[in-house]
Amino acid sequence: MPKTVTTWILVAVAAAIAVLPLLIGSGDHLAEPFSGADGQAEDAVAETHPGYEPWFAPLYEAPSGEIESGLFALQAAIGAGVIGYYFGAVRTRNRLRAGRPPAAGASDAG
């Protein structure tokens, strides 16, 4: 299969993964659309143990859900960057040990 066909198939799969959850819907059991696991757990604890007092309070309470989501996305991006850098450094180190020069392009066929 040519590389361009494979690329377009992967783009279509990524788009489907992004769009399908929006089309399927969030369901009636959620307090708000796209609520996170923390909010759902809070609601479940409030239902089962109404007098429960949390042990700890958050260090920083975001003023809105958008800021909280943005900070979470920033945290995920930093983590992905660190992991990507690590794997790139290990791959380059292994290529240099094997006597092969590092690849000049971003992708490598073999």
The number of distinct structural domains making up the chain is 2
**pLDDT confidence of residue 25:** 67
Express each pLDDT in 51-99 by its tens digit: 888 888 888 888 888 888 899 999 999 999 999 999 999 999 998 888 8
Look over the chain and give the mean of its residue pLDDT values, rounded to a whole number: 83
Indicate if 7 and 51 belong to the same structural domain: yes
Indicate if 32 and 46 belong to the same structural domain: yes
Domain span at 17: 1-57
Q: What is the DSSP string of 40-63?
A: HHHHHHHHH-TT---S---S---S
Indicate if 6 and 31 belong to the same structural domain: yes
When comparing pLDDT for 34 and 16, which is higher?
16
For residues 98 and 92, the answer to whether their CB atoms sit within 8 Å is no
Indicate if 73 and 34 belong to the same structural domain: no
When comparing pLDDT for 98 and 36, which is higher?
98
Amino acid at position 52, single letter: Y
Of the listed ranges 10-14, 20-24, 70-74, the least confidently predicted one is 20-24
Share of the chain above pLDDT 70, in %: 82
Indicate if 35 and 74 belong to the same structural domain: no
| CA dihedral sign of residues 27, 31, 34, 39 | negative
